[in-house]
C-alpha cells in the first residue's frame, strides 16, 4: 500500500511539466498569438474576423 503513494507522487512529478501553457509547436499559432489574437475551432465570435490559421491550419486565428 505504501508503494501506491510513491507511485502517485512519481506520476504527478512526471506530468507536471506537460501543462497546457507550454509553448505552441506551430509557427502560425505563435504568429497569431503574438499579434494579440486567439485561436478557435470553428467560426469566430460575431465581433471577430478570421485573419489566418492556427495549429497547422486546423483552427482559425480570430482578431478584433
pLDDT for 9 equals 83
The C-alpha atoms of residue 27 and residue 16 are separated, in whole angstroms, by 25
The CATH number assigned to the domain with range 25-63 reads: 3.10.360.10
Helix (H) or strand (E) holding 50: strand 49-54
pLDDT for 20 equals 57
pLDDT for 21 equals 57
Take residue 50 and report the three cell numbers written for it.
Answer: 478570421
pLDDT for 25 equals 76
Going residue by residue through the chain, which has 64 residues, state the pLDDT in tens, using 9 for 90 and above: 677 888 888 877 776 655 555 555 788 888 999 999 999 998 999 999 999 999 888 899 999 8
Q: Where are the domains of the chain?
A: 25-63
Amino acid at each position: 500500500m505504501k508503494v501506491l503513494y510513491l507511485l502517485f507522487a512519481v506520476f504527478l512529478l512526471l506530468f507536471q511539466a506537460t501543462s497546457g501553457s507550454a509553448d505552441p509547436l506551430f509557427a502560425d499559432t505563435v504568429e497569431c498569438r503574438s499579434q494579440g489574437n486567439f485561436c478557435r475551432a470553428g467560426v469566430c465570435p460575431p465581433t471577430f474576423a478570421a485573419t489566418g490559421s492556427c495549429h497547422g491550419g486546423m483552427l482559425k486565428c480570430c482578431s478584433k
